[in-house]
Chain A
Amino acid sequence: MIEEKKFYLTKQGLEKIKKEHQGLKGLKFAKTKGEIPKIWHSEDINPEYLSFQEDLSFLETRIVELENILKNVELIKPPLKEKQNIINLGARVMVKVDGQTDEFEIVGSLEANPSLGKISNESPVGKALLGHRAGEEVIISSPIRTVYKIKKIKYRII
């Protein structure tokens, strides 16, 4: 089922989605003509493409999903310089939590990859950090009280 909501993407994320959309449309066109590009037989290529290699219905599902994302996308842009001390989408935030330093990048749900420090703006921690400034503390208290002390806020230059 397609999610009807706004998708926040970084410039890189949007480019990736556009590229995949174009690639899959090309693949669909080639498939309907009975041609499978040889490059898709390699193990080293993007697994997202590999998965659609021979499954037309899944290929179509993904194309519809990508089109829905592109229709409802909102690009994450760094805020004006005077507002770059406030956590917004796209911010890279250095925090001190449980005595250790941690770093998060606040991204939209589609680009979240917690193991690489990219957390979703819809996660409880991501949501709570938004709007705060360096020096402030954000407390998540249900049921374990965790204090995130904001040390530094940075934005990627695009």
Chain B
Amino acid sequence: MEYVNFNIYERYPRFFNRSWEIKRKKRRGWLIHKIKNPETTGEHIFHLAILVWVLGKIKKINLERAIKIALIHDLCEIYAPDFTSYDTAALKEKGKITIKDILKIQPTPGRPTTTQRKKMEKIKQKLEMRAMKRLISKLPADLRKEINNLWLDYENTLTSEGRFVKQADKIINLFQGLEYWKKYGKIQHKLWIRRAKEVLDDPTLLEFVSALEKKFFRK
């Protein structure tokens, strides 16, 4: 049991100061695509939390848990790099990745290999775990444990809520990607739609994808 002291609130400002940085951090995936004034991680989190709330209500999951997972799922990016799905390809290319390269990338295991993907996943997991520990280290023990558990649930898709948020995260990226495609045309929209049909399996979220398709591809 944690020792309760009267200065417990003194532990929060540092956490909030650091967390607020996420409002300014521009998402790397969009920067790679050279999107002007791209979405920040904070904006992405807000958008995801709303989506999880609205669709999670239909899905009848534990909304409190799911929204909390959405709120903290990318907080580790304060101290860890914002990894993108293009990084594995970059790892293979061993060089700086350009927008031209990205537009050529196809999601095949042959490029990069499964071993390379696993290697990248391991690096990502290690750096993000360290970053999360650092961020929450000064928080009171109960809050620290809660954030850590919610984040690990998301990362390892341990519960229905963790699984739902993980897939919802992909949809919110697809949504934003389609918005940019419509506005700037720099996004491989066909590939993104194709990937969505491969990676998503939640019926509620798939219904939402159909609605997105109608919005963006209605003739």
Contact = CB atoms under 8 A, between A and B. Distances in A.
A54 B156 CA distance: 18
Contacts of A97: 194
B182 to A, nearest CB: 14
A114 interface: yes
Interface of A: 1-3, 43, 47-48, 50-55, 58, 61-62, 65, 97-98, 100-104, 109, 112, 114-117, 119-126, 140, 142-144, 146
Q: Is the interface of A mostly helix, strand, loop or mixed?
A: mixed
A2 to B, nearest CB: 7
B152 A48 contact: yes
A50 B160 contact: no
A122 B149 contact: no
20 contacts: A2-B160, A47-B125, A48-B152, A48-B156, A53-B145, A65-B159, A98-B106, A101-B108, A101-B110, A112-B201, A115-B85, A116-B109, A116-B121, A121-B201, A122-B201, A123-B198, A140-B197, A142-B210, A144-B189, A146-B190
B158 A116 contact: no
Contacts of B148: 51
Interface in B153-203: 153, 155-156, 158-160, 163, 189-191, 193-195, 197-201, 203
A1 B160 contact: yes
Nearest to B197: A124
B80 interface: no
Given A100-B108, A102-B108, A117-B109, A51 B152 contact: yes
Of A65, A97, A114, A140, most buried by chain B (CB within 10 Å of CB) is A114
Contact of A120 (B110, B129, B201): B201
Contacts of A123: 197-201
Interface string B117-160: 11001000110011000000000010001101100110110111
A103 to B, nearest CB: 5
Contacts of B98: none
Contacts of A101: 108, 110
Nearest to A142: B213
Contacts of A122: 201, 203
A70 B16 CA distance: 41
Given A43-B129, A142-B210, A55 B201 contact: no
Contacts of A119: 198-199
Given A103-B109, A124-B206, A146 B197 contact: yes
Contacts of B199: 112, 114, 119, 123
A117 B145 CA distance: 32
A158 B155 CA distance: 29
A62 B158 contact: yes
A109 to B, nearest CB: 5
Given A62-B159, A102-B106, 14 more contacts: A2-B160, A3-B160, A47-B125, A51-B156, A55-B146, A98-B106, A101-B110, A114-B199, A115-B85, A115-B117, A117-B109, A123-B201, A126-B198, A144-B194
